[in-house]
Amino acid sequence: MRQTLNPKVNSCQTCFFKSNRAVTLLMCLIKSNNVFFFSGHNYEIIVIDDGSPDGTLEVGKQLVKIYGSEKIVLKPREKKLGLGTAYIHGIKHATGNFIIIMDADLSHHPKFIPQFIEKQKSNDFDVVSGTRYIGDGGVYGWDFKRKLVSRGANFLTQLLLRPGASDLTGSFRLYKKPVLEKLVESCVSKGYVFQMEMIIRARQFEFTIGEVPITFVDRVYGESKLGGSEIFQFAKSLLYLFATT
């Protein structure tokens, strides 16, 4: 499935998910707004908050007063309903041709956004994925165990599924809007495995995938956990995808 790329990106929507603290949302929104403003692209930033009790929504409202409701779009939900439904919620309110998805806890730095846009334009890619595993990409803030598990899972996935991308579990990505809609409709996984299935389904549908090396910084605020249940869920999902793709 291909779509002609206009010379100028009509609109890039940045959807922020799972901001643990209002201060990180504030910093991330300001940085992202500045990146888009100075790049010259038309844009809107969609904030999806799943009922956070820490003032996240109030921070968003204050930024709307500064930047305007056309640039900062608040789409809160009453409670946490899952990653896939958050994507659907964001897509429903997005108005442009491209959607950039990133976390608002500063693990994904907005400075990479122009590289995503340029990569997409270079070969009209359907998906551009941030990768920690090639070029200048990397991870900061993980202990040896976390790095070992991540590398092992990535190696096993590459061996079994041949995804055509080096980083399957990261969520910092750019999609053509129709491509994202189709991928979300086709995915059944939950949690961080959802990101892996998105790339596998993209390969299955013969969408083109470009990659941009990024540095991932484990959460500045809050905790990021990887336990036995997550590892079990990964193994289960890996077998499912191996059998169905």
Residue extents of the structural domains in the chain: 12-244
Cα–Cα distance for residue pair 127/209, rounded to 1 Å: 5
- Please provide the average confidence, as pLDDT, over all residues in the chain: 81
Q: How far is CA 155 from CA 31, 73, 112, 160, 235, in A?
A: 34, 38, 25, 9, 13
**Contact by Cβ (8 Å): 221, 20:** yes
Residue 186: predicted pLDDT = 93
SS3 65: helix
pLDDT of residue 10: 45
3-state secondary structure 181-199: HHHHHHCCCCCCHHHHHHH
With beta carbons less than 8 A apart as the criterion, state whether 34 and 3 touch.
no
Specify the pLDDT at position 226.
Answer: 55
Candidates 120, 103, 87, 125; CA nearest to 216 is 103
CA distance 196 to 194: 5
Alpha-carbon gap, residue 90 to 175, rounded angstroms: 13
Beta strands in the chain, from DSSP E residues, in sequence order? 12-17, 43-47, 72-74, 98-103, 127-131, 138-140, 173-176, 209-213, 215-217
* Number of C-beta neighbours around residue 112 at 10 A: 19
pLDDT for the residue 222: 47
pTM: 0.84
- Enter the DSSP assignment of 171: -
What DSSP line would sit under 90-115, residue for residue? HHHH--SSEEEEEESSSSS-GGGHHH
Mean pLDDT per 10-residue interval, the chain, length 245 residues: 33 50 74 81 83 78 90 83 80 87 84 93 97 91 81 85 89 94 90 86 96 85 57 82 84
CA angle 224, 229, 235 (to 5 degrees): 110
Q: Please tell me the CATH code under which domain 12-244 is placed.
A: 3.90.550.10
